[in-house]
Structure formats: structure tokens, C-alpha cells
Amino acid sequence: MSFQWPDGKKAAITVSFDDARLSQIDVGIPLLNEYDVKGTFYVSFGALEKRLEGWKAAVVAGHEIGNHTVNHPCSGNFAFARSRANEDYTLDRMESELIDANAKIEEVLGVIPTTFAYPCGQKFVGRGENVKSYVPLVAKHFDCGRGFKDESENCPEVVDLAQAMGIDFDRATFAELLPQIKRAEEQGGWLFYAGHEVGDDGRQMVQSDTLRKLCEYCGEHSEIWLDTAAKVSAWIKEQQG
Ligand SMILES: [Zn+2]
């Protein structure tokens, strides 16, 4: 297979943000809008309702809303997830919650998500000998599922879009991102960034300065396709046939 990016582009970058953290509406989206950059937002419902008008405006501005489940299950090793631990889930429960989250997003924002981000990057239900992967469910319902704290850009010829690599860019300086971007350009890859808050300081915080420099860099390097996960994964899917 000979893979080609559209319009002579040499690499792709997506910036994505999880959990509908309030600073995404208050800081992140206004910053992206300044550069006419479209981001992907994997939303959680309690937080989404606190900035509902902002999310409606984000949809109108062309940002992507993605599925991040209804209840954000993660391993029960995280104290916050103990009452909704992957270890206690079944595939049936997971599938119905994936479908419910899409229905809820359609109801409140009028769009149907085509991409997904695994809460905590974890892709299993059950424990021990009964562990099962829920990657096949994500493959069935979405064009793409993004991991978290992965270590590589995605190679478009070979990536299984149901478990695309997602690189954590919380706290990172632009100088730290630059080698990853250069490598994606050299390899013709898709760099799929994953973050949480947007602002100046904090543990799960994409630095405003980093995001601004990333937008500026991509503005100056027309060989990079900076777009949503929906757009990039749809292109890869089509090329993979
Ligand atoms: Zn999350």
C-alpha cells in the first residue's frame, strides 16, 4: 500500500483534550480559535453541563466532540474509579455505555461522535483469567480509539485505528514537543496529542504557551496537517481501504 496524506502534506497532528475540563472552554478553545485550529474534545458529562453554551459554540466553530464513555471507568487502582472499575465491568455494560454516551452527546450537542478516547488509556474489562479487551467494541462503533501515555506517533500504513497511540502533552514545553514533531515529519506519521486542562500551571495542564507555539509552528509549516481526530482518522481509514 502506498499511503499519501492529502494536499501534499507530509505528516498530521491532532490536539485532543479529555473530560470537558472547564479550562478547555475558558482558555483552550479561545486560543485554538485565534489560530483557526480545530481540536478534538473527549467529553465527560457532569463537566460538559457546566459550560454547555460554550460547547455548543465549540461545535459551531468546527471543533470535534468525541466519546469518552458515560462513567469514565478506569482501573480500581485509581481511587476515583473504585466504584466504576474496569475490573468490575462486562463487555455488555461497556458497549451499552459507549452507545449511551453517543446518544447523550447527540441529544445535547446535535453531533454523533466518530472517535473515542479510552479513559485512563485502559482497554480492558474484568480481571485475571477473565480479562477481555474492549478494543473490538471501539472498532465496531468508532473510526478511531485513542490511548494515553503511549510512546509513538502513529504510522498511517499500519496503525490499527481502534487503538491509536495518544501522547500525553500535559505540562510539556514546546521544546519537548519539537523532536516528536520532527520525527513525525520524517516518518510521515500522525502525532496524536492528549491533554486535559489548558492554562499556565497545574499537574494535568497543557501549557497555553506550548499550545500557542504549536499552532504557530503548524501555521508556518504547511507540510503539517493539523486537524481533528475525525478528519485524520477518516483519511487514514479510506487510504487503508
Ligand atoms: Zn478522561
Give the count of domains, the chain. Answer: 1
Q: Is residue 226 part of a domain?
A: yes
pLDDT at 201: 83
Q: Please indicate, yes or no, whether the overall pTM of this predicted structure exceeds 0.95.
A: yes
Residue 72 Cα, ligand 1 centroid: separation in angstroms?
6
pLDDT in tens, 40-92: 999 999 999 999 999 999 999 999 999 999 999 999 999 999 999 999 999 99
Q: What's the CA gap between 57 and 203, in Å, rounded?
A: 27
Between the CA of 178 and the centroid of ligand 1 the distance, in Å, is 25
CB 111 within 8 A of CB 104: no
- Domain assignment of residue 172, yes or no: yes
In a domain, 164, yes or no: yes
Beta partners for residue 195, in sequence order: 17
Find the CATH number of the domain harbouring 128.
3.20.20.370
Q: Which residues contact 169 (CB under 8 A, 6 or more apart)?
A: 15, 177, 193, 194, 195, 206, 210
**Per-residue model confidence (pLDDT) at position 171:** 96
Looking only at the bridges linking them, the beta strands covering 64-67 and 40-43 are: parallel
Q: How far apart are CA 74 and CA 76, in angstroms?
A: 6
What spacing in Å lies between the alpha carbon of 8 and ligand 1's midpoint? Answer: 34
Give the domain extent around 217.
6-240
Q: Taking ligand 1, which is a single-atom ion, which protein residues have CB atoms under 5 Å away?
A: 18-19, 119
How far away, in angstroms, is 75 Cα from ligand 1 center? Answer: 12
Distance 239 CA to ligand 1 centre (A): 29
Counting as low any pLDDT under 50, the low residues of the chain are none
pLDDT for position 2:
80
Structure-derived torsion over alpha carbons of residues 234, 2, 146, 96, reported in degrees to the nearest 10: 50
Task: Tell me, in angstroms, the distance from the centre of ligand 1 to residue 12's CA.
Answer: 23
184 within some domain: yes
Any domain includes 35: yes
Confidence (pLDDT) at 210:
98
CA 3 / ligand 1 centre spacing (Å): 31
Q: How far is the CA of 68 from the centre of ligand 1 (A)?
A: 7
Say how many Å lie between the CA of residue 79 and the centre of ligand 1.
14
- Cα-only R_g, the chain: 17
> 159-179 burial, b for 16+ CB within 10 Å, e for fewer?
bebbbbbbbbbbbbebeebee
pLDDT at 202: 83
Flag whether 1 is in a domain.
no
Which pLDDT does position 1 carry in this prediction?
Answer: 59
Query: Separation of 86 CA from ligand 1 center, angstroms?
Result: 14
* 162 vs 179: CA distance, rounded Å: 26
Spacing, Cα 42 to ligand 1 middle (Å): 8
Q: How far, in Å, CA of 67 to CA of 99, rounded?
A: 9
